[in-house]
Structure 1
Amino acid sequence: MHAIQIPLLMIFPVLAVIGGLKDLTSYTIPNWISLALIAAFVPAALVSGAPLSQIGLCLAVGLGALVLGMGLFAAGWIGGGDGKLLAACALWMGWPGALMFLLYTALAGGALTLAILTLRSGYLAPAVAGAPAWVRRLGATGGDLPYGVAIAIGALAAFPRGTLALAVLG
């Protein structure tokens, strides 16, 4: 059974990393990443051995995270792709794994903010000037933060405590 469970579980970290890297380099997270995470959740949940009540909690957590993401987007604090990635990742975490996911995401978001502020401070201007276009965009004053990076880091850190990972790996 592990021959099916493990590859299905690995879809999550792979797509989370792709989402974070895509946001870092282009300030966009394509919808297909969040949709693929949602679509892959169904077979992963069914073969994980998690009880249906836990899978139902995963769905509720994902819906709650979607509402949270919509609120953060409406407030202008994150982008729409970030909100969708947050919800899709929370779906895989379930309860109580979502608490660790949100904590790790917040910590990663703080570290990301400090790193970007340092990049934009001017001390690194000579290094940024010769960097690839996406690094120059990150170093531009007044630019947005690619919060998908923090979401991906939070997702990877919390993944071992998520409902599906615990059901498969114990």
Structure 2
Amino acid sequence: MLEHVQTAFILVFPALVILAALRDVVSYTISNWISLALAAAFVPAALVAGLSLPMAGAHLGVGLIALVVGMGMFAAGWIGGGDAKLFAAAGLWLGWPAATSYLAVTGIAGGALATLLLILRSGWLRAYMPAGPAWFARLSEPGENVPYGVAIAIGALAAFPKTPFAALLG
């Protein structure tokens, strides 16, 4: 029974990260409740995973550093506010040393996403976009933002197996 409770708490992370990415793609927003739920769910997940106080503190430190970095990227206009909050909440869950993979994969995924959107927004593909759903047509709109929550989710999911939480799942 305890194993099922552990699994349920730990699966909150991938579920909410995926939800954030999907919301960002279709609406260019990541609701505050998603990042807040991620941050709040970390506490019971850390308890059921048996994280030591120093390890939980290290996770908190990574989350705080990610918040500062995310705020800086937001201030520079590189990402939106929801992206910055998601970046920090995911950093809290990932901790150290998974943070290095998180940063690297998020950066690579962000570059790939931007490249794909440039291709999608090019003149020769734009003629086909009105036939799709409205959110897809908006993605193909030149000058529109990049839903960076997708890159953050890819980075977070790629780094998740390196966390103590993932060890409990497999």
Are 1:115 and 2:116 matched, yes or no?
yes
1:54-92 deviations in whole A, cap 9, x for unaligned? 111000100110000000000000000000000000000
Are 1:146 and 2:108 matched, yes or no?
no
| TM-score for the superposition, normalised by structure 2 | 0.95
Helix, strand or coil at the partner of 2:127: helix
Deviation at 1:162, TM superposition (A): 2.1
Deviation at 1:126, TM superposition (A): 2.4
Moved more, 122-131 or 27-36: 122-131
Residue aligning to 2:6: 5
Aligned ranges 1:91-130 → 2 under 5 Å: 91-130=92-131
| TM-score for the superposition, normalised by structure 1 | 0.95
Residue aligning to 2:32: 31
Divergent runs of 4+, >6 A: none
Q: Distance in 1 between matches of 2:89 and 2:149?
A: 12
Residue aligning to 1:59: 60
Contact 1:31/1:81 (8 A) holds in 2: yes
Give me the CA root mean square deviation: 1.2
Gaps of 5+ in 2: none
Deviation at 1:130, TM superposition (A): 1.0
Helix, strand or coil at the partner of 1:124: helix
Q: Distance in 1 between matches of 2:128 and 2:89?
A: 36
Percent identical: 57
Gaps of 5+ in 1: none
